[in-house]
Amino acid sequence: MTFSLLAGLMGGLGLFLLGMRLMTAGLRKAAGSALRHILRTWTRTPTRGIMSGFFITALVQSSSAVTVAAIGFVNAGLINLQQSIGVIFGSNIGTTITGWLVAAVGFNVKIKALALPLIGTGAVLRLTGGNTRRTPLGDTITGFGLFFLGIGVLKDSFQHIQPFIDLGSMTSDGAACALIFLCVGFLLTFLMQSSSAAMAIVLTAAVSGIMGIECAAAAVIGTNIGTTSTAALSVIGATNNAKKVAAAHIFFNLGTGLVALILLPLLISLIVGFEHMFSATPSPALTLAVFHTIFNILGVLMITPFTRQLVKQLDRKIGTGVPEAAKPRYLDSNILKTPSLALDALFLELGRLGEMSRLMAQKAIASNYRYSELLKDMTANEGLITAIRKFCTKLQKEDLSDEVAEKLPEVLRVVQYYRSMMEVIHMVSREHVTLNHILPGDVDDSVYTFKIFVKDLLNVAHTPCSPEFESIEFMEEKLTEVYHKLKADILDAGAKGRIDIEHMVELLEYYSKTKRLVKQAVKAAVHWADMRDISETCRFAAENNDYTWKLPEAPENQ
């Protein structure tokens, strides 16, 4: 085997991978919000989830992109785990389209006659597209061209290698051959982190006669199982939702692969027999593409009826421990490549930060906050704030749409409001302990009224699904009126000697800080709610009996 043959294999593989990358990235950008719309709208039932997963994967030519999108939508509260599993099942069928493309076009047309015009057309669209959708469309067309050109180079290289290597003759026993090439397919996918590239190598090797059809079919099963390595690697340090989706993906592919391996001789003989009805010499590439599709469909038919039980097991086994408050629950590095989903995750993580901050504020105002408990809560909040800021920094480095780029500063603004709340909470909780709360009757009544308004506003400030949230700005105006009444009563009591001047100053500063604390909470809540149409979040919460967004019970003022 000469250096030129190895160079041909490497070059063909490189062209194929580059083509897939351009094609996937271009289609995702050209589709715009279509992926989000389909996943939001077409996942209400398991069947619709499977169909949406299939069509989206067939469109963007990347099951990993769809898996990441599903994780992002679960994290963002737009679909639940059961719906996401349907999408994953469908994406496994959708990824078989790559094999059909290779089988139907890659070996039946003159490659250069198809590929070169596609590359040229795509390049022109890319150069003249500017900021329009022609640019990603150009990338997509160029990617298709490179995809087919890579297939052509691989095909030529394998044809030259075939006289020197005949892997099919190395293993005469069917079972041994299946196991060996199952491992070969898995390793190819694991090393290249692309089942499509591994599938292309298997198909071209089979067409070139380097391996027999059953050995090649076992390698196809291996490529399918190999995608589980991508899922497993992608969730290291990820959120519990990501781990559950990845676990479902791994379970499906392993189960489907085992069934396909058991039925391999039967399925291949049936497919070849069917092909003989139309052609005297069945195409190995077409046989393998049909086999790939059939065993994935069989897997979906077998496992879909047990989806609910699978979800229960995943919920029981993953993420059952009490999560650390400082650890993000929704931020996942896997969704950075899809900025719109990353923004959804940031929205929910800010919601968590707001809830934690609001509860801290209630404790600080309502009772004596133990200093050790205060420090613990503040450390958790600071940790979450740091994680959100780091995630924003990573997101800024991605190719952001105008919508995401405009909303990212709002995320940082909301974070800053909550950071300011922490500073005021620290001061208020310390002053509460030393402050003399024994006051004249009329002043005490004003303090009580003020605290009632404070409590109500803090309750409403983080409950966008409650009807009270719509009147939050009006409530804030009323709080200002009540505060000015309290301030006037304290000044009057000080002027008339009913409380000493030093005590009066301490009271004015304390309640001024309390008002500022509530104002920061309201500003954060309003800006946070404006980041996204929360009606979808509220609908999801209602459908799943999730009361996170409803008006909670707050600690009683003391």
In 3D, which of 344, 380, 433 has the Cα closest to residue 35?
Answer: 344
Alpha-carbon span 281 to 275, nearest angstrom: 8
- Work out the pLDDT band at 537, boundaries 50, 70, 90: low
What pLDDT is recorded for position 535?
66
**In terms of pTM, does the model score above 0.75?**
no
How many CB atoms within 10 Å of residue 85? 31
* Domain ranges (residues) in the chain: 3-317, 333-543
Decide if 37 contacts 151 (C-beta within 8 A).
Answer: no
Whether residue 148 contacts residue 172, with contact meaning beta carbons closer than 8 Å, is answered with no
Model pLDDT, residue 413: 93
Share of the chain above pLDDT 70, in %: 75
Q: What is the pLDDT of residue 238?
A: 64
The contacts of residue 492 (CB under 8 Å, 6+ apart) are: none
Roughly what angle, to the nearest 10 degrees, separates helices 195-207 and 134-161? Answer: 40
Range 333-543 classified under CATH 3.30.420.280:
no
Residue of 369, 503, 482 lying closest to 424 (CA atoms): 369
CA distance 475 to 522: 10
DSSP 158-187: HHHHTTT--HHHH--SHHHHHHHHHHHHHH
Report the range of poorest mean pLDDT among 236-245, 293-302, 341-350, 384-393.
Answer: 236-245
Q: Between the CA of residue 137 and those of 56, 103, 104, what are the distances in Å?
A: 16, 24, 23
Residue with the bigger pLDDT between 191 and 516: it is 516
Are 42 and 49 in contact, with CB atoms under 8 Å apart? yes
Q: What's the pLDDT band for 555 if we cut at 50, 70, 90? A: very low
pLDDT recorded at residue 61: 62
pLDDT band for position 328 (cuts 50, 70, 90): confident
pLDDT digits over 380-413, tens only? 888 899 999 999 999 988 878 788 888 899 999 9
Model confidence pLDDT, tens digit, residues 70-123: 776 676 556 778 888 888 888 888 888 877 877 766 555 555 566 778 888 888
Q: How far is CA 183 from CA 194, 199, 223, 259, 555, in A?
A: 15, 13, 9, 16, 59
Cα gap 90→84, rounded to integer Å:
10
The answer to whether the CB of 43 falls within 8 A of the CB of 49 is yes
Torsion from C-alpha of 323, 325, 330, 336, nearest 10 degrees = -120
High-pLDDT (> 90) share of the chain, %: 13
87, two tokens: 């999408």
Is the pLDDT reported for residue 536 higher than 90?
A: no
b/e sequence 31-64, b meaning 16+ C-beta within 10 Å = beeebbebbbebbeebebbbbbbbbbbbbbbbbb
What does pLDDT average to over the chain? 78
Q: Cα(135)–Cα(28) distance, rounded to whole angstroms?
A: 12
DSSP one-letter code for 544: T
* Span 484-511, pLDDT tens digits: 999 999 999 989 889 889 889 988 998 9
CA proximity to 509, closest of 483, 545, 533, 534: 483
- Rounded CA separation 440/391 (Å): 51
- 8 Å CB contact between 399 and 338: no
- Separation between Cα atoms, residue 33 and residue 524, nearest integer Å: 27
